[in-house]
A = this chain, B = another copy of it.
Amino acid sequence: MKRTILIFGGLALSLLLLFQISKYSLLSNDLEIEGILAIVAVVFLIVGIYLNKKSLHKEALGEGEIDLKKVEALELSKREYEVLMQISMGLSNKEIADKLFVTESTIKTHVSNVLIKLKAKRRTQAIQIAKELKIL
């Protein structure tokens, strides 16, 4: 929001500069005024597109920030969240166990806890729920 204010401030200044130019050097020529109008139009068109992309990027980042908060809200431990991510990568319990240097039993325990906390019946459902909660 602060950036937006700064950007608008810059825009106002540049607009004023254009006013000055039009007043003191180009006012007598009608064609030049049309040119200035065109320039202003194009510039602000580009600025509009730029601002829109910025805001969209902020939204995307915003989704990323929500992650950890919701993970805490679900009371998922670090390890459980870690296992959940590996599940979403399509790994089996054995593969996850090897990747995290623990036994398959341990992974099964973690998976069961994840399923309970996400209120899922299967690991595939856990993936779906986690993506709905934008945790992945």
Which residues of chain A from 97 to 136 have a CB within 8 Å of any chain B CB?
Answer: 120-129
Distance in Å from the Cβ of A7 to the closest Cβ of chain B? 11
Query: In the assembled complex, which residues on chain B have CB atoms less than 8 Å from the CB atom of A13?
Result: none
Smallest CB separation, A105 vs chain B (Å): 19
Judged by a CB distance under 8 angstroms, whether A36 is at the interface is yes
Q: Range of interface residues on chain A? A: 35 or more
Report B-chain residues with C-beta under 8 Å of the C-beta of A68.
none
Contact with B along A11-52 (1 / 0, CB 8 A): 100010011001100010010011011101111111111111
Closest 7 CB pairs of A and B: A48-B48, A90-B125, A52-B52, A90-B128, A44-B44, A45-B48, A49-B52
- New A-B pairs, 8, CB < 8 Å, besides A41-B41, A48-B49, A87-B124: A44-B44, A44-B45, A44-B48, A49-B51, A56-B56, A90-B124, A90-B129, A127-B127
